[in-house]
Amino acid sequence: MLQGSVAENRRSEVEAHIHAAIMNAFCEMMRRSGLSPIEVMGLTAQAVGTIYREVAEAHSGPDCCPCGWQPHEIDIGMLCDSLSRAARRDRRQDLRLMRVAGMA
């Protein structure tokens, strides 16, 4: 298991990579499909659910992946909570979106 800032850096790198890949695919599908943003987002969420199911299946049964991870029912709730938190992130906490108050 990774320790402290090394793990945080690794998680940030992974998050940034996944964000860029999904954003690129999202924008491309918006451009090509003519579907509404919420339709494409819904399909994106379905794809994440399908990926979870496929990974869970690969980690279940007698010939499962040897990494040791085991899927649990609670995982789906955790994924839903993650989506909800990210979608409702308090914009006031994002320094990039705050109004500049003065000059230093």
pLDDT higher than threshold 60 for residue 37: yes
pLDDT higher than threshold 90 for residue 103: no
Helical ranges in the chain per DSSP H: 4-33, 37-58, 74-87
pLDDT band at 4 (very low <50, low <70, confident <90, very high): confident
pLDDT higher than threshold 60 for residue 104: no
pLDDT tens digits for range 78-99: 999 999 999 987 766 666 666 6
How far is 68 from 6, CA to CA, in rounded Å?
22
Q: Model-level pTM greater than 0.95?
A: no
Domain boundaries, the chain: 1-60
